[in-house]
Structure 1
Amino acid sequence: MSIEMKNKILKNCAELFYKYGIKSISVDDISFNIGISKKTFYKHFENKNDVVKAIATEFISKIKLFNKEIVEEKTDVFYKLMKIYKKMLSQFNSCNPSFIYDIKKFYPDVYELFIEFSDKELNFLITNLIKQGKEEGLFRENIDENIIYKLHINRMNAVIEGSLLPEKSIANPIFFEFVVIGLIGITTIKGHEILENKLNDYKNEKNF
């Protein structure tokens, strides 16, 4: 079994699924697009579900790696939260909404990977950053970080599913309005002042 061929199939499938969704793409379409036989496809994958699961796993892994790198940076809590939110939104925004819709409807075992990531790792990461912000006097002491996380993740899901913001509109300045509104609601006076002062720096940062 060729690792190169397996990776080639995964790469091409990811491009097709991100662009057109999953349900509309058959194994015949995949084989034709790559220029291989169906026999070659089934030599590397048992079925399309295996491919979908592998792509979803890699998709989530990229977000995990990015989040880990951001958390380890010597930057402030506001910066870390905004970078994480933007990465999440941009990662999903690079896909046709049908990609997530199809996973949710037709591949529940794969969709569970996203739920598990959201409920465990992402929840742990965001709530810890909010706790850190509370300790630094940036966020109000009386807020429940778990509730705030759920509110923020629900708003992000609404963007990802296309019901809150127009498609492809997460880039500045709309992104900043979207995220800042969510953060300002939980900041202290001190936190609000610091966030306002830092916003221009964030907006002017080339790679933000």
Structure 2
Amino acid sequence: MKEKILEKATNLFLTLGFKSITMDDLAHELGISKKTIYTHFENKTKLVEECTQFLFQSIACGIDSIRESQKNPIEELYEIKKFVMIHLKDEKSSPQYQLQKYYPKIFKSIRQKQFAVMQSCVIENLERGLKQDIYRKNINVDFVSRIYFSGMTSIKDDDLFPIAKFPRALLMDDYLEYHLRGIITPKGRKILNEIINSNQS
């Protein structure tokens, strides 16, 4: 039952926002009593904390399996982006903003974990791209990995990039292309253009 509550709550939080969903809403959606939810989660804050952990673990595992498939580094980034977008439900409700505003401690903790995972993932991606001659030899790997994380988190800022003007899927595509165009070699550019053209067709 706990896993069922976690899955449903995570889905609702991502779709409608962490603040918007009440324990009553969740109980109603699951067709159970609030008391049943409270036997597994002492309060809403604990539920939000476990939901963010649950989502983080799901995404981290998915990213690991994409990395294990050893695609070329440019293709790998697009596969990860596609996978993350599916798991984050296209983020129509700006859940990150609500999490940061109403649950700042949880937000800070999950952001640190995201940085650790993304940093190692992007550094490994950059190093493979350098070996395969698709990323430029003179890039500063540590700087690029950090600026990539910074940009990825910034584009989720609804004040900077309002969803009405910047649909999340297009914004992610634009940011990924922006990131790659700054670091690719002519060989890498050929791969990137093929991916962009195949995504548009």
Normalising by the smaller structure, the TM-score range is 0.7 to 0.9
Offset at 1:123?
0.2
Alignment of 1:16-35 (within 5 A): 16-35=12-31
Q: Choose from 63, 69, 74 the match for 2:70.
A: 74
Say whether the 8 Å CA contact 1:93–1:167 is kept in structure 2: no
Unaligned runs of 5+ in 1: none
Q: Distance in 2 between matches of 1:47 and 1:135?
A: 50
Matched, 1:193 2:187: yes
Unaligned runs of 5+ in 2: none
Q: Find the counterpart in structure 2 of residue 11 from structure 1.
A: 7
Q: Distance in 1 between matches of 2:168 and 2:31?
A: 35
Q: Distance in 2 between matches of 1:176 and 1:203?
A: 12
Say whether the 8 Å CA contact 1:21–1:102 is kept in structure 2: yes
Q: Distance in 2 between matches of 1:102 and 1:85?
A: 22
Q: Distance in 2 between matches of 1:185 and 1:168?
A: 23
Q: 1:46 to 1:86 in 2, by over 3 A?
A: same
* Count of aligned pairs between the two proteins: 197
Q: Choose from 163, 179, 182 the match for 1:182.
A: 179
Q: 1:27 to 1:112 in 2, by over 3 A?
A: same
Say whether the 8 Å CA contact 2:15–2:91 is kept in structure 1: yes
Offset at 1:144?
1.3
Q: Distance in 2 between matches of 1:75 and 1:27?
A: 42
The one-letter amino acid of 1:108's match is: P
Matched, 1:117 2:81: no
Q: Distance in 2 between matches of 1:87 and 1:153?
A: 17
Say whether the 8 Å CA contact 2:27–2:37 is kept in structure 1: yes
Q: Residue deviations 1:93-118, cap 9 Å, x none? A: 53344421121122233213422223
Using the size of structure 1 for normalisation, the TM-score is: 0.80
Larger Cα-atom Rg: 1
Superposition CA RMSD, Å: 2.6
Using the size of structure 2 for normalisation, the TM-score is: 0.82
Q: Distance in 2 between matches of 1:98 and 1:201?
A: 28
Say whether the 8 Å CA contact 1:89–1:160 is kept in structure 2: no
